[in-house]
Amino acid sequence: MRTQVAIIGGGPSGLLLGQLLHRQGIDAVVLERQTRDYVLGRIRAGVLEEGFVDLMAEAGVADRMEKEGIRHDGTVLAFGEQQVHIDFTRFAGRPVMVYGQTEVTRDLYDAREKAGAETFFKVEDVTLCDVETDAPYVTFRHEGEDKRLDCDYIAGCDGFHGVSRTTIPESVRTEFEKVYPFGWLGILSETPPVHDELIYSNSEQGFALCSMRHRMLSRYYVQCPLTNKAEDWSDDAFWTALKARIPQEYAERIVTGPSIEKSIAPLRSFVCEPMRWGRLFLCGDAAHIVPPTGAKGLNSAASDIYYLYHALLEHYQEKSTAGIEAYSGRALARIWKTQRFSWWMTSLLHRFPGQDPFDLKMQRAELAFLNDSEDAQAALARNYVGLPY
């Protein structure tokens, strides 16, 4: 088999790249190690930057998002009972879109199937070969048969545990990592959201986040030790913990109900440099991970796709390799800025083991500064809605 671009990973970043390329007449084959249903069963964040929304429109898959998504013009940061409202439209000139990652992925899969683009599910033993040459190829096993896919370029969109990043020799890549000493316990419940915007809260009991998927589907989180297991938390224990960590006005009116999904996510910051080796490009979690505070995970992947898509477009339409040569540098320049923002939000809003009274005073002072400074609110808003590509 032969294609122009081999995409390793059938999550939202790989599918978005494939759909964008298809619309420009560039052929791409997607290889995914899981089933479609498994990919769609992953519960992930749903806050989309305007840049991501624009990419979905360019890919021709924005119709359902525009009908069912919820635009947010701001967010609330709380420290105990003190609250600061960050006005996105005032300070950044644009909102964010709340639309679940599962729905993004579903829309992209539906579009790919409608286009008749080739996707292989449940692939095994994926190996990226000769990526430093002009003739890279991928070998894999599918339905009991060994297959080979020749290509011009390979996009590694297969996540932190995929084969793409580790294909780059250790002597070539440098990895930066910070592991946080806590996780997020999250539940999904078929209840109306407690507020029409997201609430980020720092309390004496720890961090909490009130989020949503749509008008009758809420997503809530509380900070918890990494030693906890989701099954050890009853629904009642979760709701009690959440109410104790958010301002009283929200705790009194929150609608509780049985959880339909419950899980604990560890938090880490991670970056791999470079993001290109020969004809292999890393995208999304294959190259970088952010803590979910600030909603940058999927959005960071989208910025990679933007740079790679335009680099490939420039190559195939204008016979130029300038974008390809610049890909890693451009992507990393933006990634480190989103890493800084996610790290800052995490540091501001969580309780860390060993924090002393001075550390807590610094968190309170930071929130007070946000409350008093429109410049600080503007900086937060511009980072949250997304830095320009």
Supply the residues annotated as catalytic: 72, 200, 292, 296, 384
Output the CA–CA distances (angstroms, integers) from residue 316 to 5, 8, 24, 176, 331, in the order listed.
11, 20, 10, 33, 20
User: What is the DSSP code (8-state) at residue 286?
Assistant: G
The secondary element (H helix, E strand) that includes residue 169 is none
Q: How far apart are CA 107 and CA 12, in angstroms?
A: 9
Closest CA to 209 of 360, 97, 47, 66: 47
364 phi, psi to nearest 5 deg: -65, -40
**Which three-class secondary structure state does DSSP give residue 216?**
coil
Structure tokens at 244: 């104790």
274 upstream amide cis, omega within 30 of 0:
yes
Q: How far apart are CA 354 and CA 203, in angstroms?
A: 16
Output the CA–CA distances (angstroms, integers) from residue 346 to 89, 208, 337, 340, 352, in the order listed.
23, 11, 14, 10, 10
Q: Which residue has the tokens 């992507």?
A: 331
In contact, 181 and 352? CB cutoff 8 Å: yes
Structure tokens at 24: 């420009």
